[in-house]
Amino acid sequence: IKPILLENNHICVAGGTSDNTGLNVKPANHFEKLNLNAASKITLSYEWQGGKTAAIQASEVPNGYDLFGDPAWPQYKSRTFEGFFSKSLVLHYKDDFRIIEEFCEPDKHFIYFDNLYDFREKSKYILEHYDEFQPMIENTYKYALENFTVENFFDRFIKDL
């Protein structure tokens, strides 16, 4: 993802500290991040935690591989729904786990990308034809409000456990 961010001068929002050498990193609290999302036409999302760490190697969770071929495990990330709530079109990396499909439908609520080339092509098309995606963005925003506010999420997914 880093080459795409660099070549397009994207802003990378980070809540903590990490090695972000070369990226246009903006540290942001949650509300600042939502405002940046709301100003963005595309939200890049994925749901894995990867890297060559001892924790990943020792994990008993079924492993897959991240975009770079390194070991990874599934980790739900809220950035996907932050994109929905911010009325930003979500481009989501199609990993081995596809956790997002437990909650949303591809091509209805978000668009998958398979690799860096696919991301480049899809993001370019989306930006050049952004108006075509407005119905999807609006419908996904409404879907998020109906299903993923704290109260609605609790009622739909947790209450009957």
What share of the chain in percent tops pLDDT 70?
67
Q: What is the pLDDT of residues 97-143, one digit of tens each?
A: 888 998 899 999 999 999 888 988 999 999 999 999 999 999 999 99
**Alpha-carbon separation of residue 155 from 4, 84, 101, 145 (angstroms):** 39, 19, 19, 13
Sign for the pseudo-dihedral over CA of 125, 39, 5, 65: negative
Is this model's pTM higher than 0.85 or not? no
Cα–Cα distance measured from residue 109 to residue 103, given in angstroms and rounded to the nearest whole number: 10
